[in-house]
Structure 1
Amino acid sequence: MHGLHLTADLHDCQCHARWLLDADALGAACLDAIAGAGLQAVGQLLHTFPATSHGPGGVTATVLLAESHLCIHTWPERRAVTLDVYVCNVGGDHSARAHALLDALLVLFSPAHTERHALTRGTVAGVDA
């Protein structure tokens, strides 16, 4: 097991509200971004949370990839999003594709502030994530 795990916390997203509220629209955008990054979606689960006294419910979008997964959580009342992209790099290095996917989602959500992190998982001698 060897891979690259990217996370991003997005604050003050300037995107259209549908990306924070509409599970189907967000799911379709995820599939487009995945294909554009050269990764392969193999399954998808979308969930919309009910509204609360704090505002409209957010969305969780999870896409299983042949290479691993993408997970997105939205908080529309805060205009915030968390992104989680993990790719396994056994049999081929998918790191550039993971970065391309994350970059495409940053464009979609257009955050005013972003906190990004990268974690190399399960190192293999002679292979870099």
Structure 2
Amino acid sequence: MHGLHLTADLFDCTCEQRWLTDADAVLARCVALVQAAGLQPVAQLAHRFPDSPHGPGGITATVLLAESHLCVHTWPETCSATLDVYVCNFGADHSAKAQALRDSVVALFLPQRLHAHALHRGQAPSPD
């Protein structure tokens, strides 16, 4: 087992409001970005949370990948979002594709501040 888990916390997003509240639009864009990065979507799910006294409800959009997953969560009341991209590198190294995917999803939200992290998971295969 060997993989790369990329995360990003996006603050003060200046994107159109629909990218923070329209679960179907975000999911469709995420699927397109997954494919553009050269990864393989195998399932998808989106959910919009109800409005609250603080403002419109946020969304969660998840794309299950043959390589693992992409997940996006939004908080429109604070113009923020989080995302994670995890790829298993079994059989091939998908790290560059994961980084391209994370960067393209970040660009969708136009954050003014960003905290990004990378976690290398599992053990790299040992040479024979």
Q: What is the TM-score with the length of structure 1 in the denominator?
A: 0.96
Asked if the contact 2:2/2:125 (under 8 Å) is kept, the reply is: no
Q: CA deviation at 1:126?
A: 4.9
Structure 2 unaligned regions, length at least 5: none
Q: CA deviation at 1:125?
A: 3.6
Structure 1 residue 85 corresponds to structure 2 residue 75: no
Deviations 1:67-99 (A, max 9, x none): 000000000000000001000001000000000
RMSD: 1.0
Tell me the residue number matched to 2:50.
50
Identical residues among aligned pairs (%): 62
Q: How is 1:5-16 mapped onto 2 (pairs within 5 angstroms)?
A: 5-16=5-16
Deviations 1:22-56 (A, max 9, x none): 01100111011101100010000100000011111
Question: Which aligned segments of 4 or more residues in structure 1 are displaced greater than 6 angstroms?
Answer: none
Q: How many pairs were matched up? A: 127
Instruction: State how far apart, in whole Å, the 2-side matches of 1:38 and 1:26 are.
Output: 18
Structure 1 unaligned regions, length at least 5: none
Instruction: State how far apart, in whole Å, the 2-side matches of 1:97 and 1:121 are.
Output: 16
Q: How is 1:91-102 mapped onto 2 (pairs within 5 angstroms)?
A: 91-102=91-102
